[in-house]
Amino acid sequence: MAVLRYPDLHGHSRLSIIDYLAFYNGRRSHSKLGYRTPLEFEQEFYSKAT
């Protein structure tokens, strides 16, 4: 009897969710950052540090 093998959907789904969260949280403004995106906050932080 042949055993059906399914692709690793669980692992793929987990990576897709992680990728989406990284994308979404990087573009979303955060109240703790003065309603700026993490990228905007980081750019301002490093421009003040130099």
Q: What's the pLDDT at 40?
A: 92
End-to-end CA distance of the chain: 68
Residue 24 structure tokens: 């979404």
Q: What's the pLDDT at 49?
A: 85
Q: What's the pLDDT at 46?
A: 94
Q: What's the pLDDT at 5?
A: 67
CA distances from 36 to 11, 21, 29, 43, 48 (A): 32, 17, 5, 11, 16
Distance between CA 14 and CA 30 in Å, rounded?
Answer: 24
H or E element in which residue 25 lies? helix 9-27
The model's pLDDT over 1-50, given as tens digits with 9 standing for 90+, comes to: 566 666 666 777 888 888 888 888 888 888 999 999 988 999 999 999 87
